[in-house]
Amino acid sequence: MTEIETFYDVLRRQGISRRSFLKFCSLTAASLGLAPELAPQMAYALETKPRTPVLWLHGLECTCCSEAFIRSAHPLASDVILSMISLDYDDTIMAAAGHQAEAIVDEIVEKYKGNYILACEGNPPLNEDGMYCIIGGKPYLDQLKKAASNCKAIISWGSCASWGCVQAARPNPTQAVPIHKVIRDKPIIKVPGCPPIPEVMTAVITYIATFEKLPELDRQGRPKMFYSQRIHDKCYRRPHFDAGQFVEAWDDDSARKGYCLYKMGCKGPTTYNACSTTRWNGGVSFPIQSGHGCIGCSEDGFWDNGGFYNRLTNIHQFGIEANADDIGKTAAGVVGAAVAAHAAVSALKRARDKGGNA
Amino acid sequence: MTTKSAGTHVEQAIYVYEGPLRLWHWINAFAIITLVVTGYFIASPLPTVAGEASDHFLLGYIRFAHFAAGYVLIAAFLLRVYWAFVGNEHARQIFLPPVASRHWWGEVWHEIKWYAFATREPKKYIGHNPLATLAMHILFIWGIVFMMITGLALYGEGAGMGSWQYQWFSSWVIPLFGNSQWVHTYHHLGLWLFIVFVTVHIYAAVREDIMSRQSILSTMISGWRTFKDARPADDEHS
Amino acid sequence: MTIQTPNGFTLDTSGKRIVVDPVTRIEGHMRCEVNVDSENIIRNAVSTGTMWRGLEVILKGRDPRDAWAFTQRICGVCTGTHALTSVRCVEDALGIKIPENANSIRNIMQLCLQVHDHLVHFYHLHALDWVNPVSALKADPKATSELQQKVSPAHPKSSPGYFRDVQNRLKRFVESGQLGPFKNGYWDNPAYLLPPEANLMATTHYLEALDFQTTIMRIRTIFGGKDPHPNWLVGGVPCAINVDGVGAVGAINMERLNMVRSIIDQSIRFVEDVYIPDLLAVASFYKGWLYGGGLSSKNVLSYGDIPDNANDYSAANLLSPRGAIINGNLKEVHDVDLRNPEEIQEFVPHSWYKYADEKKGLHPWDGVTQPAYGLGPNAKGSKTNIVEIDESAKYSWIKAPRWKGNAMEVGPLARYIVGYAQGNKEITEQINFVLKTLDVPVTALFSTLGRTAARGLECQWAAHKMSYFLDKLIATIKAGDSSTANVDNWDPSTWPKEAKGVGFTEAPRGALAHWIRIKDTKIENYQCVVPTTWNGSPRDNEGNIGAFEASLMNTKMERPEEPVEILRTLHSFDPCLACSTH
Ligand code: HEM
Ligand code: HEM
Ligand code: NFV
Ligand code: SF4
Ligand code: SF4
Ligand code: F3S
Ligand SMILES: [Mg+2]
């Protein structure tokens, strides 16, 4: 075996000097909130390590997570695939098909016991014995379980793998479930979003490869470094929110001035993601910057949170669907009317009783 | 217990609500009215104001008032809980309805009949009547606890993952509800619960003041309960 | 046993059965089974869609204004085309007219998808069927540089040193033993015909294209906020235009328009300096491999797209051609009416769905989606371990759409054949250029390579058309119209009690339409008939085979256990299974 190309080689090939490579490491360390002492460690890791095998499985999904991944501006997907990881199975781009493809999963699971990463895009359906998603003639769930059996950790890409996403929206006809509902004995890193931000996806991979550890997760299993704040907390339209300046209708004067989209149903106040900070596709924009409210695509169950143009969730009860204000106004109306009627009857009765007594 | 004579009427007066409790009641009422009004405008903000964003802080102030009233409410409630331990027996009433007592439920039923115009005469109570106790326990105590917990969970989201509000509340409340939006939705629904509670509460207080056999409104001001007849009271423990 | 299909194919199931599952380098999950005779020639082909998510079921009862977001998640590869189709069908149902600027922006976004999707398909999903990256290690970088300068003198990355660097990188990659996506490829199969230099050039461009494609979709990020899955709006587009007023910095302004312009220019350059030359270079080595025509020489269909002026969806106003050709008669291009209950119908006798009467097809406005999984009596294996499918029974999650009873091929080749038959000037010029360069007759179009070539040509066409609509957008703004949305009917209280509509686009993979019924402001029924539903269709009630199956017929395989030829032809359609079944 000859020399293996490392991340450092990639940078050198692109004409980057060792000096600027080290600077890159310290900047990256700083942007990840790490102590500056860790920069040399990061540099060492990037310079020397062989590539970690990755099995990237697809269940019920739309492949937008893969599409997002290849749109990463830094690092480029080509560098991740050729130099940082060994993407040994990914049915969307792999050369082999059929038996030759399936054989790879078996091989990696045995050969790299405990040392490969399982990346899941999409999720398994449980209805119809799993046959809403068939791979090699068998339920996808079988492949998932096999691939998970010896893995070091799982990355649940996107809202499908993390929460269930669109196919799990009411009434979830295939009974699609997120990965953590069927694989319970492995560390799972959820990287939600529909899809996740490209640069967040590659950063999560790079972080694991560089620091040789899994990122710190919040209670719901998401890396704190990208999911600990809401869109609203870092939104550049926030001053308009605080000032009380809102888009009141699409393409109105406020929309052209870039006012807050709260009244158009923006889910920024209830959505944990990095969009308002890292932005999308090399930092070009993000949903709010391009005039549409956030639809909360990284949140659990965001499809069933009522319309995308209402801020609050519709409550489904007693066969009807209504929002909190409809329910509240009806209740208050009914109670108000009852009180008024009760008062009238009380007054009448009192007048009659008094009349009787007198 | 003192007994006053006024003309032919025999009136009794009993000191029921001690000062701290009365003070709490009115601070609490003020905080809740502030929370209802500001909460409504957080959910449905006023029309857009003209000019530069830096010239205004309208929703910012509304939210500030909400949070301030929220903390007043919480602090007052904690003191109220303390007072339930050290105050007189009436200070405990709405916290501990005697739900194990069959007799008490019978009294609740009687009070329901009184409101349904099915009995001619109400009973007489030194403290809250049993139906009021029950309504206050369920709607007010649990309602306010719910609003405080969800309110703190929402506050923790803004304060950030390092804040105590986040660690003590948001961190478990949000997963419990599924996502942040559901917390907003139910906190918002609570607004209507309180509008309903306050409507009924004020109506009942005024009505009872007129129609029952004891004073009501003045009691929450002076602390003294006065009675319109001399027959014995029907309270569970008196 | 041989069967004659009504659409002119002879199926023989007697030979050896070969199973390819999963079919890879496609979107989603698919299985393919073929029978080969003693000469290793394919005599029967069966294609199975192996996933279903139930979007049509999930959409019921929801707000029609949200449907774009749901249907957009049908696919992240042709991301946005379903969303566009969806807002169009809701607008059709509610009679909503969109501003001219919204039309231009939507067109730019749709054309941008065509450019991106075609480019990524050619290099990252299709190239490895023709290009052998392992053989590239044997190439002489100097000869590769000469080849590059010959096929595309304009492309700046062409020095021997550049190719040597890439080759060294590949070498280290291969020698590391960690082959990644190239693992278990069919690299010593004699089906690969390119010389090492062409392999090195194409592999180099595989990487260049992978890097460049990150830039293309930024156009959609500007207008839609993110990509994949940008944002759309019933009644227009969500991004406001403000070029010189207060707050212009946060809207579509000069800087944003300049960025769009710059990316369009770079895209045109990449397509013309890299993609088209590679396409012609690769094709010139495979000129003799004329398999894969299938239905393309018989029945093709396109709905047309890219309305020049807003709100006019008549064929004359659509820049991408519209029409149907049947029985190979290029002299007659038929009109297509998506509202006519007799024209487009979906059948399910061989699909895992249930109809009350399975002999009949249903027009999508009356469409039904009720899953019913089960294997036929002659299947081998068990319910959860399919060894061999039984195509005489239900065998796919894809429905079988038919146009006036005919199985149709859709996609770039279908569009180009329709355009060619109609005498569309731009399309005819492009086709003639390719035929002349490769020195092949027009019938060469009806093939796997024809499909691949049409896609490249369309990519080039789309890149230029983006530029046209950017000019138009700027001209409209200059004339004083900055509006991007019509909100007259935004509020559901303005809607009729019941309404129905249809919206269509030409997605990268072909003709796409959504049909909606709205009742009491909610979706009552929503049906999608998708390009890969057409192409990947299983048999229908009469036994007509679909485009995938037809295209595999009579192909000779070098080594039946290595399905290179099957992949080649299936990939030429760019199958999208998540789309096909939705
Ligand atoms: C937001 C508004 C209010 C809330 C949440 C509220 C809540 C309460 C609660 C919890 C009690 C029971 C006190 C205890 O036993 O610890 C109470 C008692 C009382 N409240 Fe209010 N209150 C509100 C407003 C008012 C107003 C506006 C009035 C007068 C019109 C009023 C009159 C009374 C009276 C008279 C009592 C004593 C009832 C009795 O003697 O049994 N309250 N209130
Ligand atoms: C009777 C008590 C209360 C009522 C009626 C009330 C009402 C409301 C309402 C209607 C909203 C808007 C919800 C939405 O539509 O998103 C809201 C938001 C909120 N409330 Fe309360 N609330 C109460 C108590 C509290 C308390 C005790 C706190 C704790 C500090 C609190 C903190 C908050 C916070 C942090 C928000 C979110 C503000 C934002 O999203 O900008 N609330 N409240
Ligand atoms: N088939 C298909 Fe699509 C396309 N192009 C959609 O309409 O790919 Ni996912
Ligand atoms: S999370 Fe969203 S974007 Fe990713 S595969 Fe699922 S539906 Fe597609
Ligand atoms: S646009 Fe959305 S995220 Fe931004 S400030 Fe307004 S509500 Fe918050
Ligand atoms: S919709 Fe998704 S992409 Fe970001 S701004 Fe909202 S989380
Ligand atoms: Mg359909």
Please state, as a whole number, how many other Cβ atoms lie within 10 Å of the Cβ of residue C65. Answer: 20
Report the C-alpha gap between C460 and C335 in whole angstroms: 27
Residue A266 CA: nearest ligand 5 atom is 2
Question: What is the rounded CA–CA span in Å between residue C4 and residue C1?
Answer: 10
3-state secondary structure of C500: strand
Nearest-CB residue to A292 (from C22, C77, C238):
C238
Residue C341's φ and ψ, nearest 5 degrees, are -65, -15
pLDDT at B238: 42
Supply the ipTM of this predicted assembly: 0.94
| Domains identified in chain B and CATH numbers | 20-46+57-211 (1.20.950.20)
Distance CA C455, CA C448 (A): 11
B118 contact A CB<8A: no
> Coil, strand or helix: which one is A317?
strand
**Chain C residue closest in CA terms to A294:** C231
Render pLDDT for C60-112 as a digit per residue (tens, 0 to 9). 999 999 999 999 999 999 999 999 999 999 999 999 999 999 999 999 999 99
Residues C242-266, mean pLDDT to the nearest whole number:
96
Q: What is the mean pLDDT of residues C550-579?
A: 98
What values do phi and psi take at C2, rounded to 5?
Answer: -115, 145
- C493 token code pair: 């209280």
pLDDT in tens, C193-240: 999 999 999 999 999 999 999 999 999 999 999 999 999 999 999 999
CA C119, CA C206: separation in Å to the nearest integer? 10
Nearest CA to ligand 2 atom 19: B151
Helix then strand count (H, E) for chain C reads 17, 16
Please report, as a single letter, which amino acid is at residue A274: A
Degrees, nearest 5: CA angle A112-A116-A118: 135
Q: Which residues contact C183 (CB under 8 A, 6 or more apart)?
A: A88, A94, A95, A96, A104
Spacing, Cα A63 to ligand 2 middle (Å): 39
Enumerate the H helices of C343-445 as residue ranges. 412-422, 425-438
Mutate to test the pocket of ligand 6, among A64, A295, A299, A302 (most ligand atoms within 8 A of CB): A295
Angle at C249 between CA A290 and CA C245, to 5 degrees: 110
Sign, Cα dihedral of C264, C266, C267, C271: positive
Task: Tell if the CB–CB gap between C53 and A256 is shorter than 8 Å.
Answer: no
Contact A231, A280 (CB under 8 A): no
Minimum Cα–Cα distance from C132: chain A residue: A95
Instruction: Record the tokens describing residue B165, joined without a space.
Output: 């509000």
For C75, phi then psi, to 5°, come to -155, 135
Place of tokens 């249809």: C502
A293, A267 in Cβ contact below 8 A? yes
Q: CA-CA distance, A131 to A124, in Å (whole number)? A: 9
Where residue A130 falls (left for φ over 0; alpha for ψ -120 to 50; beta otherwise) is left
C353: confidence class by pLDDT, cuts 50, 70, 90: very high
Question: CA triplet B162, B164, B167: central angle to 5 degrees?
Answer: 70
Residues of chain A where predicted confidence (pLDDT) is lower than 50:
1-3, 357-358
C-beta separation of C10 from C2 below 8 A: yes
Q: Quick count: other Cβ atoms within 10 Å of Cβ C299? A: 26
> What's the confidence (pLDDT) of residue A41?
66
Three-state secondary structure call for residue C407:
coil
CATH number corresponding to A51-227: 3.40.50.700
Q: How far apart are the CA of B157 and the centre of ligand 5, in A?
A: 14
> Is pLDDT above 70 for C32?
yes
Residue A267: its pLDDT value, please? Answer: 97
Determine the distance separating the centroid of ligand 2 and the alpha carbon of B152, expressed in angstroms: 9
Whether B175 and B166 have beta carbons less than 8 Å apart is answered as no
Judge whether C532 and C409 are in contact, CB under 8 Å. no
Each residue of A200-239: pLDDT tens digit? 999 999 999 889 899 999 999 999 999 999 999 999 999 9
Contacts of A276 (CB under 8 A, 6+ apart): A231, A232, A233, A234, A235, A236, A268, A286, A288
Superfamily of domain A231-353: Cytochrome-c3 hydrogenase, C-terminal domain (4.10.480.10)
Q: Which of A247, A282, A287, A285 is CA-nearest to residue A271?
A: A287
Share above pLDDT 70 across residues of chain C, in percent, rounded to a whole number: 100
Q: Which pLDDT does position A323 carry in this prediction?
A: 85
- Whole-Å CA distances, A254 to A237, A251, C274: 12, 8, 44
Flag whether the pTM goes above 0.90: yes
Mark yes or no for CB contact C53/A275 under 8 Å: no
Query: What pLDDT does A322 receive?
Result: 82
Give me the residue spans of the domains in chain A. 51-227, 231-353
Residues of chain B with pLDDT under 70: 1-11, 237-238
H or E element in which residue C347 lies: strand C344-347
Total Cβ atoms within 10 A of residue B5: 8
* Residue B4 pLDDT: 46
Ligand 5 neighbours, Cβ below 6 Å, are: A 231-232, 235, 237-238, 241, 260-262, 266, 268-269, 288, 293-294
The residue-averaged pLDDT of C152-157 equals 96
